[in-house]
Amino acid sequence: MITEFEVNSTYHHNFIGDSRARVEWKIIKRTAKTVTIQDPVTKGTTRKKIHVYDNEVEFIYPFGVYSMCPVLKASNRV
């Protein structure tokens, strides 16, 4: 069973460079392949593609894919 993102739920991630820096994102809308998340600072929304890790948990890249980028996992629900 895959752990999925749920609408109106909040999830958090930490940064590799500073594990105490925590950012929380709210899921606004969801389709089978994408989620729309709300930026915690600007309150704007953006759509991100859903990926699945090891057929167990969904995840997204809230800032895009780059070296040491943070990963928002559906298992990190607030």
Question: Looking at residue 55, what is its pLDDT?
Answer: 93
**Category of 68 on φ-ψ map: left (φ > 0), alpha (ψ -120 to 50) or beta:** left
Identify which of 76, 46, 42 has the alpha carbon closest to the alpha carbon of residue 59: 76
Dist. CA 17–CA 11, nearest whole Å: 19
Q: What is the mean pLDDT of residues 13-29?
A: 94
Question: Looking at residue 15, what is its pLDDT?
Answer: 92
pLDDT-based confidence at residue 76 (cuts at 50, 70, 90): very high
Dist. CA 11–CA 43, nearest whole Å: 15
**Residue 3 phi, psi dihedral angles, 5° rounding:** -80, 120
Q: Which pLDDT tens digit goes with each residue over 35-68?
A: 999 999 999 999 999 999 999 999 999 999 999 9
